[in-house]
């Protein structure tokens, strides 16, 4: 019997601030498979996340199959808009939710992980990061600043993380990000440059798979997940309609569950997937395969 066994593996999931999104589901799936899991959390959400954990508000979501609770090895502050602390503007450095966190940049995260665990101590990195300040605007009304912000956090941050974290990884390590079908098809309402950012993320996945594969012996893949009505996705404004539309027009008509993405992520991060790199793996109930919407409701039997 083949089992996903990540015993002895160390994972970092960047982009976890609650229990509702793909990042948390992936972290839980990795822990179920035996990995030690650390997370990176956006500084403005860090205290809220820590309070939820300390007060037991997330205990039900953290329950593993064994009955134990998902434990995070470390929780790091992370704002993926900044490669180094010197890149952060003064107003960010002085902000209440930032100034007490220490170095919250990508470089700061890498340095902290090296100090905590040393080189050759990391096996899995999950990039569950995306942000577009103008996501509700159509592309024609998106500003240059809004467009570049979407590209910066949602796509370039993967490049920066591979550059800084790959040297800490053991051979055979895995990077995995999350993309969306808007990278290749028009999704009205998914604006602000996010479609462009996802297209860049997928292109970078292929190039990084080659460059980091040759240099570090690691794999780089991305999951194209269907829409999920998470708290973070509520910023899009039409996420409920997206979920409903996909469910009505997919080969499998149940809405996507976060744990379904988590399980695929655990597989792609495991030794069972050593032959897969540079790939976009769809986890969307088959919606990507459809060429025309259904005019009538799907049959019930």
Instruction: Tell me which residues are annotated as active site.
Output: 180, 190
Is the separation of the CB atoms in 6 and 122 below 8 Å? no
Q: How far apart are CA 66 and CA 64, in angstroms?
A: 5
Question: What dihedral do alpha carbons 77, 179, 254, 191 form, nearest 10°?
Answer: 90
Q: Which of 54, 2, 61, 64 is closest to 30 using CA atoms?
A: 64
Two tokens at 144?
């240059």
Question: What dihedral do alpha carbons 87, 88, 93, 99 form, nearest 10°?
Answer: -80
- 98-117 burial, b if ≥16 CB within 10 A, otherwise e? beebebbbbbbbbbbbbeeb
Terminal Cα distance for the chain, rounded = 33
Write the DSSP symbol of residue 80.
T
Q: How far apart are CA 259 and CA 157, in angstroms?
A: 24
Whose structure tokens read 């403005």? 44
Q: How far apart are CA 220 and CA 166, in angstroms?
A: 11
């Amino acid at each position: 019997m083949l089992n996903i066994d990540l015993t002895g593996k160390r994972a970092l999931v960047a982009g976890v601030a609650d229990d509702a999104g793909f990042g948390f589901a992936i972290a839980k799936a990795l822990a179920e498979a035996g990995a030690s899991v650390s997370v990176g959390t956006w500084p403005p959400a860090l205290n809220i996340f820590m309070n939820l954990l300390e007060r037991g508000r997330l205990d039900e979501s953290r329950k593993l199959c064994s009955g134990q609770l998902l434990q995070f090895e470390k929780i790091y502050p992370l704002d993926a808009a900044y490669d180094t602390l010197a890149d952060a503007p003064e107003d960010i450095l002085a902000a209440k939710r930032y100034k007490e966190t220490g170095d919250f940049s990508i470089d700061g995260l890498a340095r902290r992980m090296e100090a905590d665990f040393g080189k050759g101590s990391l096996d899995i990195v999950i990039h569950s990061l995306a942000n577009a300040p103008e996501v509700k605007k159509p592309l024609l009304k998106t500003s240059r600043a809004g467009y570049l912000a979407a590209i910066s956090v949602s796509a370039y941050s993967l490049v920066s993380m591979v550059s800084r974290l790959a040297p800490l990884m053991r051979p055979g390590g895995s990077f995995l990000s999350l993309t969306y079908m808007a990278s290749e098809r028009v999704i009205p309402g998914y604006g602000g440059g996010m479609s462009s950012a996802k297209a860049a993320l997928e292109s970078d996945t292929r190039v990084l798979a080659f460059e980091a594969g040759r240099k570090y012996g690691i794999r780089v893949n991305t999951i194209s997940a269907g829409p999920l009505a998470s708290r973070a996705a509520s910023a899009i404004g039409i996420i409920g309609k997206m979920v409903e539309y996909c469910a009505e027009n997919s080969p499998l008509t149940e809405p996507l569950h976060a744990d379904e993405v988590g399980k695929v992520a655990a597989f792609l991060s495991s030794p069972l997937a050593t032959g897969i790199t540079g790939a976009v793996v769809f986890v969307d109930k088959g919606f990507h395969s459809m060429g025309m919407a259904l005019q009538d409701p799907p049959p019930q039997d």
